Every structure is written in structure tokens, then in C-alpha cells.
Amino acid sequence: MARNRQTIGTCTRCSQGILNCSYNLFEKDALTIHSWEHRCTDCGYRVTQAFRSDQTAAEATSDPTVCPFCGRKAVT
């Protein structure tokens, strides 16, 4: 599992904590999962999104290597 975490700024919810963007890549056999998370170190605000290789084309609407919340590119 590849993991990459970056600090991206101040939390938009509480305006006090640090907001971290985390990327995880899970690979097993033919299945690949790209997982993104934004989490505040102070108030605990958290939002996640995962993209699976077994999703249909209609469900896969964006590039799974780009964060859907802040637009940063995955680094593995």
C-alpha cells in the first residue's frame, strides 16, 4: 500500500486546525483502489472519496490520481 500525506492549509470548517490531504493506493490482484481523505487536526472534520478499478465507466467520472477536494496529483 502506497501512502502520501500533505498539509494543504487551514481547515475551512473551524479556521484553526491544519487540513491534511492523504492519498492511499491499494492493489491486490486485478483490483486497484485510490483513496483520498481530507482531515482537520483540530476539529476532526473529515471527508473521503475512493475510486475502484472495478467501477463501471459511468461511475468513474474523474481521474483517480487527482484529489477530488483540492486537485493535487498523487505522489507514490
Question: Is 10 a member of any domain?
Answer: yes
Give residue 32's domain range: 2-52
Q: Is the residue at 48 inside a domain?
A: yes
User: Which three-class secondary structure string do you get for the chain?
Assistant: CEEEEEEEEECCCCCCCEEEEEEEEEEECCEEEEEEEEEECCCCCEEEEEEECCCCCCCCCCCCCECCCCCCECCC
Output the pTM of the full model.
Answer: 0.85
Q: Which of 48, 19, 44, 47 is nearest to 35 (CA)?
A: 48
Residue-wise pLDDT for 1-41, tens only, equals 567 999 999 998 999 999 999 999 999 999 999 999 999 99
pLDDT in tens, 52-65: 998 866 555 689 99
Task: Provide the number of structural domains found in the chain.
Answer: 1
Flag whether 8 is in a domain: yes
Rg (CA), the chain: 13
62 in a domain, yes or no? no
